[in-house]
Amino acid sequence: MYDPTVARLTYRALLGRRRALILFALPLLLIVISVAVRALSGVDDQVASDLLGGFALATMVPIIGVIAGTGAIGPEIDDGSVLYLLSKPVKRPTIIVTKLTVAIAVTMAFSALPTFVAGMILNGNGQQVAVAYTIASLVSSIAYAAIFLLLGTITRHAVVLGLVYALVWEALFGSLVAGARTLSVQQWSLAVAHKAADGGDLVTSDVGLPAAVILLVVVTAGATWYAGQKLRTLTLAGEE
Amino acid sequence: MSTLTIDHVSRWFGNVVAVNDITMTISPGVTGLLGPNGAGKSTLISMMGGFLAPSTGSVSLDGRPTWRNEKIYEHLGIVPEREGMYDFLTGREFVVANAELHGLGKKAAQRALATVEMEYAQDRKISTYSKGMRQRVKMASALVHEPSVLLLDEPFNGMDPRQRMQLMELLRTMGDEGRTVLFSSHILEEVEQLASHIEVVVAGRHAASGDFRRIRRLMTDRPHRYLVRSSDDRALAAVLIADPSTAGIEVDLEEGALRIQAVDFGRFTTLLPRIAREHGIRLLTVSPSDESLESVFSYLVAA
């Protein structure tokens, strides 16, 4: 289910394009803000949690997920080069699972790692805040990568739709409508983090742990399966 | 030896019919798929290559459907017309990746690069390649696994004459080896030089099929119209009309030119300059007035 050649091509495509700059810019911004906050207001667990939850987990992780998830396949479909993968006796689900693995790895590297570093800068992992949000980032990276990889497979407007989902649904809608929070990758990952890091009152979720885990698994597996199916019937017509 | 069978295939996009009830068999050897731009050649090749489902009918390779069947790519290579091809790789990296996806190694990739004579530029990034070089690297990527069927969509586009000759030679060799090679083109001369067998597609329909000489005759035997200006139009007209290769001449006073209808294309084209020289008439303009490919094809469809 994993093809090293597909993985190599995907890594190079993801990290070689201009939009990869955002992959570096956002984590850098997080670190800079963390350093500034620490310098100005000292160690404060609540502030650390607000910044990691409000910026790192709610904004940075989904945006990185959009770039890595859609970028792992969207541009190839757009410019037609995916044909060189598809004209091979390689199973379509293998291509998707490989690309998903790459997208997850890239999302984790560019979101969870900086989140941990930022957490250490902010309050030195006081009350397990850094570890909790790092776990939340790792968990949500998996689901985001799968969702946005599917989006990249089925639509040319994946980046826009992905950003709308990440910013409007997860960030804005979620804070206004309670029900929306139940269907939020961010909340699911917080539920896992709350349990795993024993985060106390600082890291909490609106969703119970069993529901969160089930939803994470169902969404990730479902999106991956469906992307594999869509790739099997991907239509690559000429430009006529 | 492999055979592609296209059986009553139609394909429409919304309300537009791109391919209309086409049935043909592509056998070993080189086959040219000829037709004007927008005739449905690319759509047809996409369906042959398994990248597009026929709306009705079926496409099969030795009895196995090409749609949703990645196994066929063990025997099939495809050279697309589109340019997208991992520009950030070098030519060698690209072909090696294609070989690996077939479960082959660097050796196969190197052999394919040698076949298309791209070794000299293999370590340059594809983004720096000319169109002809890209075309040859695409070709190498389709050849790594030595497929028994090779589909090429407009392979000669953007190639200079030398590269064109080279690719023709390569395709001819592959055809002689018993591989099934199909290439599309909208240029009659290309098809004529390379393919012994031609399938003509016009406006989504299968217009003609068979030996190129027969089709060429159909195409050249149609009446040709020319607009000719000379130093003495009436004298020229008088001599030309005496020859059986000319069916009619009109003296267009407004244009100050002759409108000539020739029935024997080959004879007329050698006759005109000879007669002009013999009679001391200077030719100022000789232009075919209906040489657009579309008119050639529409004549063919009507025939």
Which residues pair with residue B258 across a beta bridge?
A: B228, B251
Pick the range with the lowest mean pLDDT from A9-23, A222-236, B72-86, B219-233: B219-233
The type of residue at A11 is Y
Question: Which positions in chain B touch A81 (Cβ < 8 Å)?
Answer: 84-86
For residue B208, is pLDDT > 90? no
* Predicted pLDDT at B111: 96
B6, B157 contact by CB (below 8 A) = no
Q: Residue A92 and residue B76: Cβ atoms within 8 Å?
A: no
Q: Residue A239 and residue B82: Cβ atoms within 8 Å?
A: yes
Q: Residue A238 and residue B13: Cβ atoms within 8 Å?
A: no
pLDDT tier for residue B216 given thresholds of 50, 70 and 90: low
For residue B158, is pLDDT > 90? no
What is the domain range of residue A152? 4-232
Listed residue (B148, B134, B153, B36) closest to B91, CA to CA: B134
* Predicted pLDDT at A116: 96
pLDDT tier for residue B294 given thresholds of 50, 70 and 90: low
User: Quick one: DSSP state of residue B90?
Assistant: B
**How many Cβ pairs within 8 Å bridge chains A and B?**
101
Q: Residue B84 and residue A76: Cβ atoms within 8 Å?
A: yes
Q: What is the pTM of this model?
A: 0.84
With respect to residue A239, please indicate whether it lies within any of the assigned structural domains.
no
| Paired sense of beta strands B224-230 and B257-262, if any | antiparallel
Q: What is the pLDDT of residues B263-277, one digit of tens each?
A: 887 788 888 999 999
Nearest CA in chain B to A14: B88
B58, B25 contact by CB (below 8 A) = no
pLDDT tier for residue B202 given thresholds of 50, 70 and 90: confident
3-class DSSP assignment, residue B200: strand
| Paired sense of beta strands B56-61 and B76-79, if any | unpaired
Higher per-residue confidence, B302 vs B184: B184
* Predicted pLDDT at A169: 81
* Predicted pLDDT at A239: 43
Q: How far B74 CA lies from chain A's nearest CA (Å)? A: 6
Q: How far A169 CA lies from chain B's nearest CA (Å)? A: 33
Backbone angles phi, psi at A38, to 5 degrees: -60, -40
B31, B200 contact by CB (below 8 A) = no
Give the C-alpha separation, A220 to A150, whole Å: 10
B202, B48 contact by CB (below 8 A) = no
* Predicted pLDDT at B303: 52
Give the C-alpha separation, A87 to B76, whole Å: 8
Question: Which positions in chain B touch A232 (Cβ < 8 Å)?
Answer: 68
Question: Which positions in chain B touch A83 (Cβ < 8 Å)?
Answer: 51, 78, 80, 82, 84
Q: How far A103 CA lies from chain B's nearest CA (Å)? A: 18
The low-confidence residues of chain A, meaning pLDDT below 70, are 174, 199-200, 237-240
With respect to residue A237, please indicate whether it lies within any of the assigned structural domains.
no
The stretches of chain B forming alpha helices (DSSP H) are 41-48, 91-101, 106-115, 131-143, 161-176, 188-194, 212-220, 233-241, 265-278, 293-302
With respect to residue A238, please indicate whether it lies within any of the assigned structural domains.
no
Domains of chain B (ranges plus CATH)?
4-217 (3.40.50.300), 221-290 (3.30.70.100)
The stretches of A124-170 forming alpha helices (DSSP H) are 129-154, 158-163
* Average pLDDT score, chain B: 89
Q: Residue A87 and residue B83: Cβ atoms within 8 Å?
A: no
For residue B185, is pLDDT > 80? yes
First-residue to last-residue Cα distance in chain A: 35
When pLDDT is averaged across residues B69-75 and rounded to a whole number, the result is 93
Give the C-alpha separation, B230 to B147, whole Å: 56
Number of domains in chain A: 1
* Predicted pLDDT at A240: 36
Tokens 């060429």: give the residue: B216
* Predicted pLDDT at A60: 93
